[in-house]
Structure 1
């Protein structure tokens, strides 16, 4: 009778679980070589009655540890941090209700680094983890992960919200801003973009996604200042000179949305830009480069002295000759006929009184 029982138990012995092979379209994504990474070996518990204990060291060869600890920990990290950029020193906190109990104390950062190391060496990843890693978009390459999950989505959204991709240097996506996906909250997008343009960060990624960046008008071939000067400011100054015969642009002037003004410059605050060129040295590099062009346009660098020399002082001289005195009435408007100087802006006598001559002339 005992022999029959032993034979029956042998016949019913549970064999290790045999996983189905990973489909080709998945292995092509997460495998990089024929050999199985020597650090990954299947491990199954032979005792179903023994309580599971969270390992204090990484167990990359164990499918049981993957199922009970590593995969749940990775998914929890993604839920809490909104990414999988796990630092190598990270250990799952203990007695933290945000984390499953069977993950407490596990050195998740070291396990994640082992996965990345295996991937970088071109070794095949453990077959029991491939599908899970693919579904969670595990960060094998930190730079590629940041580019795909943060920078490009943020640039696309910025373009949708603001209509351009000229992100200011100090632009920061505020947490809780409903215009942005929560995975982008807290991103210092302005600094990222500044480093891309000035330090060459993500150079390979920029080249790879050049067409996508061009579709959102991301400035690639030059600096934003060079691009705006060549396509907006200088063409508008040329038209202003042709229209008005001078380049003493008043501060309030905006480029009209009509011919012959450049269509792309419509609404451009040209007067404000010119004021900043004079006072704050805006476009200093570009204006120095095109100094000869500005000279042919009679660009006015010192508005007050030009105004005095070309308009106010000649008007005072003419008033003295015509009226034989210097007592200019407040309501006096300079005539638009000879011998009075050419009037560019409906020149009134208040302007004369607000610009007294530096010397006593009369």
Structure 2
């Protein structure tokens, strides 16, 4: 069977499927001088993966894997080899790779820079989340639904909630470019302060209108009757989303909204 180290959900859709239990021998190769790590072998390995899943949008190879000894999609000299992609990428920096090999890899949408690629996929998914829900406060357990036409195919199965949590935790390590990418989408660094702003906006709506039956299309207008920090807040969408997530919102927040007079079920 394939012996793999943990890697992303995207790569999981690239791995060969339907492979039964087979005897694999370890032909692990160390050192950058080993002939395994050649451009031609990389092309053969990528081609083998591509044949296994031609429907994959991108060819994102796992960080480390062992090729089954009886898998005929791969040349005989590669079967049974344990491949470390970090070794491959390091080796390719020090040797010439022909334009023909590059073109063939690009034709399969081979991922040259996995970390940047996965960042880009998560940003794409976050853009879709904002478009769908009207905000960038992604629940920690949120996973991009699969087979949904609302989401780009290449983002299906991404653990977007964990990506957002990680981004908050590593803000001081992010480049200014990445921080700008997130903030252009309305990324929320402090979830608690954002929640309170929303509650305050609901309370202000109630003060102005005497109720909390906020239309789903309501957006806070740029008027003096509203605090400037609330302008353009898609309050109607926020309220609609809260009703649909009553069972997942922390209990103290549910109580906070209930005391405000929030109607969880419209009559």
**TM > 0.5 fold call:** yes
Match of 2:193 in 1: 226
Correspondence list, 1:105-254, <5 A: 105=79, 107=81, 109-110=83-84, 112-118=85-91, 123-127=94-98, 129-136=101-108, 138-148=110-120, 150-197=121-168, 199-200=169-170, 203-204=173-174, 207-219=176-188, 222-230=189-197, 232-237=198-203, 240=206, 253-254=212-213
Q: In 2 relative to 1, CA 140–108 (structure 1 residues): closer, same or farther, beyond 3 Å? A: farther
Shift of 1:226: 0.9
Q: In 2 relative to 1, CA 217–66 (structure 1 residues): closer, same or farther, beyond 3 Å? A: closer
Q: Deviations over 1:271-327 (max 9, x none)?
A: x99xxxxx943399xx9xxxxxxxxxxxxx799xxxxxxxxxxxxxxxxxxxxxxxx
Give ranges in structure 2 of 5+ residues lacking alignment: 1-30, 244-249, 262-267
Q: Aligned residues, how many? A: 212
Match of 1:70 in 2: 45
> TM-score, with normalisation over the residues of structure 2?
0.57
CA contact (8 A) 1:72 1:103 kept: no
Q: In 2 relative to 1, CA 204–79 (structure 1 residues): closer, same or farther, beyond 3 Å? A: farther
The answer to which structure, 1 or 2, has the higher relative contact order (CA under 8 A, 6+ apart) is 2
Shift of 1:156: 2.2
Shift of 1:147: 0.8
Q: In 2 relative to 1, CA 129–188 (structure 1 residues): closer, same or farther, beyond 3 Å? A: same
Q: In 2 relative to 1, CA 103–71 (structure 1 residues): closer, same or farther, beyond 3 Å? A: farther
CA contact (8 A) 2:143 2:160 kept: yes
